[in-house]
Each structure stands twice: as structure tokens, then as C-alpha cells.
Structure 1
Amino acid sequence: MIVTLIVAAEISWWIVLGLGLSARYLLRWRRTSTLLLLGLPAVDLALYALTVLDLRGGATASWTHALAASYAGFSVGYGPSLVAWADRHFLHRFAGGPKPLRSPVYGPERTAHEWRIAQRTVVSAVITLTLITLLVPLSAGSAHFGTFAPWYWRLGIAAVVNVIVAGCFSIWPKEAPAGVTVVDGRVVEQPAPAEESQQRASQDKVS
């Protein structure tokens, strides 16, 4: 049952996001769009509430209940960035907005990007573990800490690894290869050799 609820929550989350962005950029209903996007956390809360009710109803606590809690934690940590990512692509695809920039790959911008990922991972882990811990008192005795123990060290390791990776980029920033033009940590696309020849020829004609 819980797995079905998780799948339904995932589908619902993306449907609500799609409706919110469609209302904003296709229908120009900005207020409606804001209300829909603000409703995204309600999907996570509903899933968590149903998880608690399932346990209180006598279901045997298992990894699926922890997974439902981790879904809510992931949405808190990564949800805003996912919404921003979808917003940029929807704006570009349907409303004539600029092409979304790729993530930076070099220099201090890449380091800052890695720290943002680490921050989101840590927030997700903290929220998830808090919600998992709360399942025990909220489940009226149906859940025990031992059932969810593996989640503590797994999420802890994931958070620590992300922080270590970000720290490594701080100590050893990734530099661009020689001859590559980089702006704000992103590689600037260079014209192909044929295009360069045409550009030079046209410039010679003008001069």
C-alpha cells in the first residue's frame, strides 16, 4: 500500500507542478500558479500523514514507511531547486525565455555549485531522519527505532560524502583545460573550424 501511495504522490507532485507552470506561462494566471506551486508541500504532508495512519492501523513497520518519510525530506531539500529547474525549462520551451544555463563545471562557480548540492543533501537527510524518528511515537507502538536504524547511517554517509566532495573542490578547484574559454564556470561554445573560416572570409571582404 505504501509503495502505491509513494508512486501516487510522485505523480501528483509533477502534475501539480505542471499545472502551476502552465497556469503561469500559458494562461497568464499568476495568482493561480502561485497557489498551485504553494500546494506542492501538501502532497508531501499528505503522504506522510497517510504513512502514520497506515502504521497506526496496525501495519508492520518496514523500509517502505521510511521511504515515504524520505520522499518528504527529499522534497524539502531538493524541491525548490527542482521547481526552479522546471520553471526555467518551461519558460524557455513555451514562453520564449532564454535557454537555461548548464551547471558550472570549472572554477569557484563549480565549487559553489558543489556546496549547494551538499547543503541540499544535508537538509534532506536531517528532515528525513527527523520524520523517520517521529514515526515511532506517532505510530502508537507499531514502529520501533530498530526497524529504521539502517536509514540513519545510510543518510548520514550520503550527507558526509557530499560535504567531503564539496570540501575537495574548495581545496582543489577544478580548472579549465588550456585553450578553453570559460565564463562563470561554464565552457563557452567555440565555433566549428568551417564556421571560423567563413567568419574570417566575411570579415576580409568587409575590410
Structure 2
Amino acid sequence: MYLFIISAEVLFWVFVVAGLAARYMFGLKKLGGLLLLFTPIIDILLLIAVFITVRSGMEITTATGLAACYFGITVAFGHRLIKWADVRFSHWFGKGPKPERKYGAAHAKEERIGWLLHLLGWAIGNALLLAIIVYVGDPQRTAALEGIMQTWAIVLAIDFVVSFSYTIAPKKHKHKA
């Protein structure tokens, strides 16, 4: 399962880079869009692998739980990640504007949005983890999943503190002296 998760992450970025390269380096906008459409298909394949693992009675490990987490995060952040990469490719290869760095209130807002997306990913991932736990119905087989849920809740809380700290102490523009 670990190999499948790593493969899914690598394939996600391969299709993003291939799609953006087709769009900006070779001027093939339709092909670029088609390649970008494969990114959610990768997520669906990972989800299918998780359910095959669970249904077959194979051991449910931390990797199974991480696959659910990965799915939640890519659903929540996938569009934003592709947009982030698109802006950079457009600048590097398509004569687009330089990506803008944000400071102050604008940066604080981006951090809060990032945390809200993390919360969404957490909710999706935990819903999937709970679905597996209920489906399996064996606390011994699903103990690793409960541990992941607890750890992720702590990570989410830490991310909240960090993300919202920029509201109190905004990131300042560093002026060159």
C-alpha cells in the first residue's frame, strides 16, 4: 500500500507537469487539459485500492490509513496545487505574470484558507477512515486507523495555531537594505 500511495503522489505530479508542459511549452492546450483530468482518476484508483485491501481481509495497516488521508488532502488541495503550478508554468514558459508573494492581511487570509482546506481534507479523510472502521467492524484490525485519526487531529490543531497566528502577527515584507 505504501508503494501505491507513493506511486499515486508521483503520478499526480507527473500528470500535472505533463499537462502544464503540453499547455505552455508546446501550445497544446486541449492535450494539457486532458492530462490534468487524469489527476482525480489517480485519486479514484487509490480509493479503489484501499477498498480492495479492506474487502479482501488483508491486514489494515498505517498505509491503509495514510491512503485515506492522502485522498482527503488531494481532494481538498488538488485544485489549489494545480493552480499554484499553473501560475508558475505560465510565468516560466508562457510569458505570464510573475507569481505574487503575499504579505500582511492578504497572506493571513491565504493561511486561513489553507487551514480551512486542511479541515476539509481532514473531514474527508476521517469520513473515509470511519467508513472503513464501521465496514470492517473489528477494532483489532482497525486500531491503526484510529491512531491516525488521533494524530491527524493533533496536526490539524497545530496547523490552526500556525495558520491563524498570521492574523495576529502578519508576515511582513522584507525590504532589501
What is the CA distance between 1:112 and its match in structure 2? 0.7
> Do residues 37 (structure 1) and 39 (structure 2) align?
no
* Residues 173 and 132 (structure 1), Cα distance of their counterparts in 2 relative to 1, 3 Å cut: same
Query: For residues 15-34 of structure 1, what are the structure 2 equivalents within 5 Å?
Result: 15-34=14-33
Q: Which has the higher helix share?
A: 2
Partners of 2:155 and 2:170 in 1: CA distance: 22
Q: 1:166 to 1:30 in 2, by over 3 A?
A: same
**Deviation at residue 137 of structure 1 after TM alignment:** 4.6
Structure 1 unaligned blocks of 5 or more: 177-185, 193-207
Q: Percent identity?
A: 25
**Residue pair 2:53, 2:60 contacting (<8 A) in 1 also:** no
Which amino acid is 1:20 matched to? G
**Deviation beyond 6 Å, 4+ runs, structure 1:** 140-143
SS in 1 for 2:95: coil
Q: Secondary structure at the match of 2:99?
A: coil
Query: CA offset at residue 142 of structure 1?
Result: 9.8
Residue correspondences, number = 177
Task: Give the Cα–Cα distance (whole angstroms) in 2 for the partners of residues 167 and 51 of structure 1.
Answer: 34
C-alpha contact 1:21 1:33 (8 A) present in aligned 2? yes
Give the TM-score normalised by the residue count of structure 1. 0.75
Q: Which residue of 1 aligns with 2:76?
A: 77
Provide the rounded CA distance (Å) in 2 between the counterparts of 1:48 and 1:154: 21
Alignment CA distance shift 1:43-1:142 (3 Å): farther
2:170 paired residue among 158, 168, 174: 174
* Equivalent residues of 2:65, 2:145 under 8 A apart: yes
Q: Which residue, 160, 163, 173 being the options, matches 2:160?
A: 163
Contact 1:63 1:147 in 2 (8 A): yes
Q: Secondary structure at the match of 1:60?
A: coil
Matched letter for residue 89 of structure 1: R
Question: Structure 1, residues 113-169: CA drift from partner, whole Å, max 9, x if none?
Answer: 220121121111111111112223555869844331112222212222223334443
Q: Is the 8 A contact 1:17 1:83 kept in 2?
A: yes
Give the AA of the match of 1:97. Answer: G
Distance 1:143 1:18, change over 3 A: farther
Measured on the aligned residues, the alpha-carbon RMSD in Å equals 2.4
**Change beyond 3 A, Cα 1:126–1:133:** same
Residue 116, structure 1, aligned to residue 113, structure 2:
yes
Is the 8 Å Cα contact of residues 69 and 128 (structure 1) preserved in structure 2?
yes
Q: CA deviation at 1:29?
A: 2.4
- Structure 1 residues 16 and 143: alpha-carbon distance in aligned structure 2, compared to 1, 3 A threshold: farther
User: For each residue in 1:83-102, what CA deviation from the matched residue of structure 2 results, as whole angstroms up to 9, or x when unmatched?
Assistant: 11211111122222222223
Matches within 5 A, 1:1-207: 2-102=1-101, 104-105=102-103, 107-138=104-135, 144-170=141-167, 172-174=168-170, 176=172, 186-187=173-174, 190=176
Q: Which residue of 2 aligns with 1:181?
A: none
The alpha carbon displacement at 1:5 in A equals 0.9
2:38, 2:136 → 1: CA distance?
A: 26
**AA at the equivalent of 2:95:** G
Q: How far apart are residue 38 of structure 1 and its match?
A: 2.4
Range that drifts further, 30-39 or 134-143: 134-143
